[in-house]
Amino acid sequence: MKNGLAALLIASSLWGYGNGVIYWAPHISHGGEHSHSKHGGHGMGETTMLHAMNLEGNSTVTLIKPDLSKEDLNLTDTALTLPKASIGGYYALVLTHRTDNQVDSAIRYLSQQGRPSKISPTKLTALPKTDLEIVPDPLHREHDHYTASKSYHFVLRLHNHALANTTIFLETRDTPVQTVTTDTDGKFTVTLPNDFKNVQIGRSENKPSEFLLTTQYREGDTLYKTALTMPYSLNPNDYWQSQKYGAGAVFIGFLGGLFLYRRSKKTGVPRG
């Protein structure tokens, strides 16, 4: 009941976001905070409770672990609590919803603390997870996060083959839908919008936002839809870090060096 209410709360706050596609959203607590696991104190605290938005009817949820082993999970209503992680690294959470002539999928990558697996995260992204899939190329690095005003690359795959010339929709809560088309190798690049409100100084003072990439493709009688959601953070260089002043300081340092050169010429001795 409580979860149902929370889902309703999120759904109403995200009204119009995602245009009815199924996607993963982090649980928002009553205080408006994302539900995060305790974490070493750097990088993103990862969400431990999620909701499958716009989901109606049965679906399968699979958690693919950093060692590429799989675990089937059950939703309570539309809510999912992640099991405690034993292995550290990237997890892929894959939801698939099948009807007679439609396959919907929602994917989200999560990073968890734990004993490191010896398997490269490239293996996890490369692994086919569902029919139509938006794959980060690459997924951001460990302890890093998707960041506003930066560009990221992805690849679209259908049945594990690159899908060219297909429209991808990028949406965030505060920026209307933008479109991009995959190239001949199924690749595309998006720049995450700088659309944070009421920004406070300090990265940890600002909650991450969410971006959603969606697309669909019809093959024969079957319509495939997929969504990838991930959190993204604001970019300090858009707010309290100035690159202009930084370049100025480098220049002043350089001038200081040249000044020392002039002084050294008076005392300089030929080197050996």
Partner 1 sequence: MDKLLTVTALRRVIQLTAFVFFVYGAMIFTTFYTGDKLTQSLPALSCAYDMKGGDFCTLIPLQHQMDHRVSSIFTQGEKVLPALMGTLITLGTVAVLILILNKAFCGWLCPLGFFQDVFTMIGTKLGLTQLGSLSREAVNKIRPIKWFIFLFLVLILPLLTGIGFLGHEWGNPYCSICPSRIMTTAMGGDMSQVYISQANWGYFTLSLIADLMFGLMVALALFVRQPFCRICPMLPMQTLFKKIGLLRLVKNGDSHCDSCGNCVKACPMDIYEIQDQAENKNITHADCTLCGRCVEFCPHDGVMNFKYGPITILSSSKESFKKRTKIDKWWKE
Cα 214 from Cα 206, distance rounded (Å)? 26
Q: Which is nearer to partner 1, 56 or 238 (CB)?
A: 238
Site string for partner 1, 29-48 (x = CB under 8 A): -----------xxx------
Identify whether the C-beta of residue 214 lies closer than 8 Å to the C-beta of residue 171.
yes
What's the min distance (Å) between Cβ of 126 and partner 1?
11
Is residue 243 a contact point for partner 1 (CB under 8 A)? Answer: yes
Cα 132 from Cα 205, distance rounded (Å)? 36
Q: Which is nearer to partner 1, 169 or 239 (CB)?
A: 239
Report the residue count for the chain. 272
Q: And the tokens for 241?
A: 């870090």
Is residue 261 a contact point for partner 1 (CB under 8 A)? Answer: yes
Give the dihedral of Cα atoms 95, 98, 101, 107; nearest 10 deg. Answer: 0
What's the min distance (Å) between Cβ of 188 and partner 1?
18
Site string for partner 1, 143-172 (x = CB under 8 A): x-----------------------------
Is residue 198 a contact point for partner 1 (CB under 8 A)? Answer: no
Identify whether the C-beta of residue 182 lies closer than 8 Å to the C-beta of residue 192.
no
Question: How many residues at the interface with partner 1, by CB under 8 A?
Answer: 44
Q: How many CA atoms lie within 13 A of 109 on its CB side?
A: 28
Cα 122 from Cα 73, distance rounded (Å)? 23
List residues binding partner 1 (CB under 8 A).
Answer: 40-42, 89, 116, 120-122, 138, 141-143, 201-202, 204, 236-237, 240-243, 245-258, 260-261, 264-265, 268-272
